Amino acid sequence: MSGSVGVALLGAGNIGSGVIAALVRSAGRYAARVGRPLEVRHVLVRDMLRPRPGVASGLITGDLGVILEDAETRIVIELMGGEEPARAYIERCLRAGRHVVTANKEVMAKAGGELLQIAHEHGVRLLYEASVGGGIPIIAPLSRDLLANEVTAVTAIINGTTNYMLTAMAQQGADYEDVLAEAQALGYAEPDPTADVEGIDASFKLAVLCGLAFNVAVAPEQIARQGISGIAAVDIAYAEQLGYVIKLLARARLVDGEVEATVQPTLVPVEEPLAKVDGVLNAVQIEGDLVGRVVFEGPGAGPGPTASSVLADVLDAAQDVVAGRAPLAFVPRRTVRVRPPEEHRSRYYLRITVQDRPGVLARIAQALGDAQISIASFIQYEVEGAEGTAELVFTTHHADGGALRGAIGVIEAMDVVQEIGNVLPMAGEEAAR
């Protein structure tokens, strides 16, 4: 089609098919927005024999070279998923002078800084709104609307599977295994849920957000990570009694020029906006010196929301093609120290199962006190069906992670302690530095 902006897709799964369908269905509206029609010229797939409803057979290819040899293809949409060959394909497209739109959180978390540098060197753009938060616009606001702010903290619920599961546990009083089975039956959790429930997916997304919010390079493996598989129904119930809900929070903040970054189940005060984000919804909270606190909330996954973000980036890139605009200035990401968990400060929730004997509480309080950890509250519960056993629930004032770890080691070694049931951070007012 003469005068069109050529588009190619790498991958034609659920999201890719949705993107193609939207490009056809909304062709007139998109052409009006861009100033020229958008034309899908190629669709790269791994299995060329698999039927692709809605995709003309002449568009299908298994060779990236076919796409790169077509001078009319100006924008490439990567929707393959996984680290390789997606990362290599993105790099080849950028070096060939093609704008690239991707939803790949793993690639952007591990190689985003390098790929953005390559895009800058070749005068093209790498756009990745769909890599974090699905349909929630967060990359563009951080790149443009909040650019005048010094962002000091990012706090997010960015995994719909775990948020659904924790919400279900709170509403049903159910245990982890039961809600996992329910989430899998509903299609919210994969047959192998490890990436979601162990916080791996959220750590990729938080690494991407650190690059945008602070302009620093944070690798996923530098993020202190704890999944939700250790959360029990009693933790949910005790948190509620204390005035909290448990959420898998992805948190990063700048402290004295260094970064603290964590993905952990966290007790969130019920009055906080993030405590009210339930089900499969996601939310990202940004704190800036000018704007204060802003929250972006919406559907975090699924073909529709993801396609929405992908297509917004495609239209943005297409407008640049039509207008002949050069990409914005690129600022390389800084490398700063990422603080290890023992240097983090937080309030903590502790659940400890002990023999119900005189003096046990005093011994545990002594161990915490020796580590300079102050107890904020304490509740004792009898354990049903286990005579002579009690469950102790403590909350602490702000303490160093290293000090807490040392105290937990001492407590765990006590002959009267049967189990350290859980140790979780608590969100709230940060400690003074």
Q: Please give the positions annotated as active site.
A: 205
| 227 closest CA partner among 184, 197, 272 | 197
- CB atoms under 10 Å from CB of 132, counted, come to 29
Phi, psi of 352 (to 5 degrees): -130, 130
CB-based burial, 240-251: b 16+ in 10 Å, e otherwise: eebebbbbbbbb
- β-bridge mates for residue 334, sequence order: 216
What single string gives the DSSP state of each residue in 243-256?
TEEEEEEEEEEEET
| 314 closest CA partner among 14, 53, 15 | 15
Rounded CA separation 53/55 (Å): 6
Residues ≥6 apart with Cβ < 8 Å to 183: 161, 164, 165, 168, 189, 193
What is the distance, to the nearest Å, from the Cα of residue 127 to the centroid of all Cα atoms in its chain?
A: 17
| 238 closest CA partner among 350, 155, 161 | 350
